Amino acid sequence: MARVVVDVMLKPEILDPQGKAVHGALDRLGFEGVSSVRQGKRFEIELAGMATPEAVAEIEKAASTLLSNPVIEDFSLRVEP
């Protein structure tokens, strides 16, 4: 069994009100030195079998069609050992 992790983030040019709010809260709580926060989503996908190149390619397809919306989001994918 293998696990594939897909991280989805809003594209840098898209406003992220949640990230902005977290940033504001960090400032108010006195956490210093933060210049920007962006909030994203993380999907942990358990594969039934091994992380073969074919299996990973399938997940990559899923990430670009369902898990992320390419109009506003980018994703990155990695296989966890």
Interface with another protein in residues 48-67 (CB under 8 A): 66-67
Alpha-carbon separation of residue 55 from 6, 39, 50, 51, 58 (angstroms): 14, 28, 8, 6, 5
* 24 lies in the binding site for another protein (CB under 8 A): yes
Q: Is 29 in the site for another protein (CB under 8 A)?
A: no
Residue in 41, 55, 68, 61 with CA at minimum distance from that of residue 79? 55
Q: Is 12 in the site for another protein (CB under 8 A)?
A: no
Q: Kindly list the residues in this chain that would bind another protein in the complex (CB under 8 A).
A: 10, 13-15, 17-18, 21, 24, 66-67, 69, 71-72
